[in-house]
Structure 1
C-alpha cells in the first residue's frame, strides 16, 4: 500500500474512532463534524474527503460493525448443529448488541427512512447488500431447522424475527430495565425472547408448509 493510501486510511480510522468516542459521551444528534475533527486532530475540511456528511459517518460505523457481527454469526451457525443453530445465532446477536449499546442505538437511527433518504446512494446500496447477506444467513438457518421453504415464506418469517430483534435493540439502547420498579435481568430477558422467536418460527413454518395441502 502506498504511503498516501496508508495515511488516508489512518485518518479515516481516527475519524471513526473519534466519532464513536463522542457518541458514547453524548447524544449522537448533538455531535458535530467539527468536534469529531478536533478530537481526531484533523482539519474539519479534511473530514469531507472521507465522509460527505455526518450521516455518512454514522452509516460507516454501523456498516463496519454489522459486517463484523455477521461474520461472527456465520461462524456460530457453522459450528452448531442445524437444530441448535437458530437459537445460538439469535442469542449471540443479542449478546453482540448488549456488548455495544451504541451499535444498537445507531442501527435504529440508520433504519429510519428519513435517515436513509439523506444518505448518498453508495451507502444506501451497502445497507441493501448487507440486508441481503443477513437474509441469506436467516434462510440457511430456516432450511436447517424446518426444511425447504419458499422465498416468500422465508420473508414472512423474517418479519416476525425483525420485529423482535428491533424490540431488543430498542430495549438495549434505552438502558435495559434498571429503571423499572422490578428490574429484569437481561440474560433472562434474552432467553425468553429467544424462546418466543423459536416457538413462533416453529408454529408459523409448520402452518406455511401445511397451507398448500389444506387448500388442495
Structure 2
C-alpha cells in the first residue's frame, strides 16, 4: 500500500469516527446544543480535525442524513424483484419501515434536514445531493407504480397523487415508529409494519383517484 493510499484510508477512518461520534451525541433531546468540541472529544480527535472534514455542524447533519438514505437505498436494492409487482412493492415498504425503526438515532437529524430553512443554508453541492437522493427514491416508487399499473395490479391514475398518498402515510408511520407510539396499545412492531404496508397497497388497489393519464 502506497503512502497516498494510506493517507486516504486514514482520512476516511477518521471521518467515519467523527460521524459515529456525532450520531451518538445527536441521539438526545438537546442534540442541537452539541458542540464541535464535544464531537471531537468523543471521536478522540482534535477540533481542527473535525473542521478538516466538515466546515460546520450543518455539514455533519447533511452527511449523516445522506448516508442514512444511501444505506436505505442499498437495503431496497436487495428486494427480490422476481415476484408479483404488488409483493415487491409491499416488501419494499416494509423494508423501509423496518430500516427506520432499527435506526432511531437518526430521527432528529433526518427530520431537521428536511426543513426548507436548512436547505437554504447548505452549499449548492450538498443541496444537489439531497435533490439527487430525493429523485432516486421517487424514481424507484414511480417504477414500481408503473409496473403495478401495467400488470393490472392497481388501476391507472395520476402517479403524482399516488405518490402523495404513499409518502404521507409512510412518513406518518415512521414518526409513530420512532416515537414508540404504536407500542402503547400492545400492538407489536411487526404487526404494525404489516398493517401499514397492507393499508398502502389496499389503498392503491382500490384507488379513488380519477382514471386517466398519470
Same fold (TM over 0.5): yes
TM-score category by the smaller chain?
Answer: 0.7 to 0.9
Tell me by how many angstroms 1:39 deviates.
0.8
Q: Paired residue for 1:39? A: 42
Partners in 2 of 1:165 and 1:102 — Cα distance? Answer: 18
| Counterpart mapping for 1:16-95 below 5 A | 16-24=19-27, 27-95=30-98
Partners in 1 of 2:31 and 2:60 — Cα distance? Answer: 11
Tell me by how many angstroms 1:25 deviates.
5.3
- Flag the 1:92–1:79 CA change in 2: closer, same or farther, 3 A: farther
Partners in 2 of 1:20 and 1:79 — Cα distance? Answer: 36
Partners in 1 of 2:92 and 2:123 — Cα distance? Answer: 31
Partners in 2 of 1:175 and 1:115 — Cα distance? Answer: 26
Q: 1:155 aligns with which of 144, 157, 160?
A: 160
When normalised by structure 1's length, the TM-score is 0.85
| Counterpart mapping for 1:93-172 below 5 A | 93-147=96-150, 153-172=158-177
Partners in 2 of 1:32 and 1:165 — Cα distance? Answer: 32
5+ residue gaps in structure 1?
A: none
Q: Paired residue for 1:190? A: 193
Partners of 1:82 and 1:141 within 8 A in 2:
yes
Tell me by how many angstroms 1:82 deviates.
1.9
Partners of 2:158 and 2:212 within 8 A in 1:
no
- Answer with 10-19 or 165-174: which moved more: 165-174
- The two structures, once aligned, show a CA RMSD in angstroms of 2.3
When normalised by structure 2's length, the TM-score is 0.86
Partners in 1 of 2:103 and 2:37 — Cα distance? Answer: 25
Per the alignment, in what secondary structure is the counterpart of residue 48 of structure 1? Answer: helix
Tell me by how many angstroms 1:77 deviates.
4.9
Tell me by how many angstroms 1:79 deviates.
4.6
Q: Name the structure where helix makes up a greater proportion of residues.
A: 1
5+ residue gaps in structure 2?
A: none
Tell me by how many angstroms 1:171 deviates.
1.3
